[in-house]
Amino acid sequence: MRIAGIQGLSLIDYPGHVATVLFLAGCDFRCPFCQNPDLVEPSAELPTFTVEQTVEFIGQRRKLVDGIVSTGGEPLLSPKVAEFAARLRDEVGLPLKVDTNGHHPETLRRLLEEKLAHYVAMDLKTAPSGYGNATGTLVDIHRLEESIRLILAAGVPYEFRTTVVPGLVDEAAVDEMGRAIRGAKRWAFQQYQNRVVMDEKYHGVRPLPPDRVRALALRAEPFVGEVVVRGL
């Protein structure tokens, strides 16, 4: 587990909280539209913060923030994240939001069973049938399905979220994703941004017009309790 970045204060990453955001390096996906490509295949030039430094930093900001976000990269790539989360709980005592691609249900299960995660945000990249195109690698859909089951049954706040990437997210993809999470409480749609991406070709992929993004979000409403749209 490598902590490669810390954002001291965020008002948008943990709903209802002022949070410190921790960026964990490394990911098993290679999404061409990824907006944190430096974290996917981290170089030696990226900083590295020790667990001790991180815990001390958050502890010093205890009066300024009321939550922690673990994002990436893919923060559940290393099973050591559970030990880290336990230390945050014991020494800092702030609720933890975990962002994940859903491909590591075994680590997610431990975080939930041991009450180490207090909010989970799982990405839905596109329709399950097209996941290889969206992630640039082979994906075990059964692992994603297991993560969805764990999240729906966990009893903690959660959301599923989809970046509306042209060519990957359309009406058919929304329908297929919606069936996979039918009955979920919240599904967030995020506008695609092409300023920083992993695959240079995606610099030329223009974001969909806001009305089109809203229309796709509206199509998702029958599947879940709440649909939100961000980034427009």
pLDDT at 44: 74
Q: What pLDDT, in 10s, does the model give residues 99-115? A: 999 999 999 999 999 99
pLDDT at 39: 93
Q: What pLDDT, in 10s, does the model give residues 58-103? A: 999 888 999 999 999 999 998 899 999 999 999 999 999 999 999 9
Classify each residue of 209-230 as buried b or exposed e, where b means 16 or more C-beta atoms within 10 Å of its C-beta.
eeeebbebbebbeebbeebebe
Overall fold of domain 3-230: TIM Barrel (3.20.20)
pLDDT for residue 41 is more than 90: no
The one-letter code for the residue type at 188 is: A
Mean pLDDT of 182-193: 97
pLDDT for residue 45 is more than 90: no
pLDDT band at 43; cut points 50, 70, 90:
confident
